[in-house]
């Protein structure tokens, strides 16, 4: 078993089959993720999901059903949901996607495909409403791609805007460096993980509120927000 890196993306696996759940966890861990197994369906809060980057979710669960969990997760957080279910009826797939799932795989499945779908999903921005995010002194207009602090517009580069938006979509949650690199940086133009600290430093100066973006040592960054933790 490979040791889990502190910056590995956290994946919550909800699967009631103990053997299958253990296999999924092992494959994800070998692929560089930090998986946690939950063997019953239950309501998850924003605090439960604060450090989770993606949920792999079975539908036929004891306790809260997978469909109900999709709706509850989507109400609490924008974390991506990948459904992994033996149900292969199109009505179930449509229902899961309508409730807020981001992807749907049917069992039996190839573990390699699951790993790559998880990786691909984490490379993409989480689908989110196109309206504005307002957090204390900060306002982000997704559609106009504008940022305001205390009512004053702040000019940001594309990287700085995407960096801030990634944090603001999950205020109070630690976002790993790997997730930020995959989402924010274009390696051909913006550099790699080593440049992330430079972008963060410039963003703090432009916002004029240094404490707004916190460094989470060994993990990544977090947008400070009283209601987010």
Are 70 and 101 in contact, with CB atoms under 8 Å apart?
yes
Query: Does position 228 have pLDDT exceeding 50, yes or no?
Result: no
Distance, CA of 198 to CA of 175 (rounded, Å): 16
3: number of Cβ within 10 Å: 7
Banded pLDDT at 124 (limits 50, 70, 90): low
Mean pLDDT rounded to a whole number for the chain: 85
- pLDDT, position 229: 42
Does pTM top 0.75 for this prediction? no
Closest by CA to 17, choosing from 1, 35, 37, is 37
Rounded average pLDDT over 133-149? 86
227 has pLDDT over 80: no
Q: What is the pLDDT of residues 81-118, one digit of tens each?
A: 999 999 999 889 988 887 888 899 999 999 999 999 99
- How far is 214 from 178, CA to CA, in rounded Å? 16
Radius of gyration of the chain (CA): 18
Strands 103-106 and 81-85: parallel
- Give the tens place of pLDDT for each residue, 207-218: 998 888 999 888
**The pLDDT of residue 206 is above 80:** yes
- Measured CA to CA, the distance from residue 56 to residue 40 in angstroms comes to 13
Contact 8, 182 (CB under 8 A): no
Question: In a 10 Å sphere around its CB, with 0-12 CB exposed, 13-18 middle and 19+ buried, how is residue 40 labelled?
Answer: exposed
Q: Helix (H, G, I), strand (E, B), or coil: what is residue 4?
A: coil
**Continuous H helices in the chain:** 18-30, 46-49, 66-76, 90-99, 111-123, 158-168, 177-184, 196-207
**Which pLDDT belongs to residue 136?**
83
Quote the pLDDT of residue 217. 85
């Amino acid at each position: 078993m490979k040791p889990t890196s502190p910056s590995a993306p956290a994946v919550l696996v909800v699967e009631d089959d103990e053997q299958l759940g253990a296999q999924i966890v092992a494959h994800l861990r070998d692929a560089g993720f930090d998986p946690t197994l939950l063997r019953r369906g239950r309501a998850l809060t924003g605090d439960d999901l604060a450090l989770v980057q993606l949920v792999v979710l079975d539908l036929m669960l004891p306790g809260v059903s997978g469909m109900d969990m999709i709706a509850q997760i989507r109400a609490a957080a924008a974390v991506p949901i990948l459904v992994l279910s033996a149900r292969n009826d199109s009505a179930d797939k449509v229902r899961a996607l309508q409730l807020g799932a981001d992807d749907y795989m049917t069992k039996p499945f190839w573990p390699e495909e699951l790993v790559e779908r998880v990786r691909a999903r984490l490379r993409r921005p989480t689908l989110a409403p196109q309206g504005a995010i307002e957090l204390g002194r900060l306002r982000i207009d997704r559609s106009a791609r504008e940022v305001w602090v205390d009512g004053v517009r702040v000019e940001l580069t594309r990287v700085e805007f995407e960096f801030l938006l990634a944090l603001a979509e999950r205020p109070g949650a630690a976002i790993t460096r790997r997730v930020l690199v995959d989402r924010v940086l274009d390696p051909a133009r913006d550099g790699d993980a080593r440049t992330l600290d430079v972008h963060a430093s410039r963003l703090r100066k432009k916002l004029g509120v240094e404490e707004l973006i916190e460094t989470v040592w060994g993990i990544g960054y977090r947008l400070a927000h009283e209601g987010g933790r």
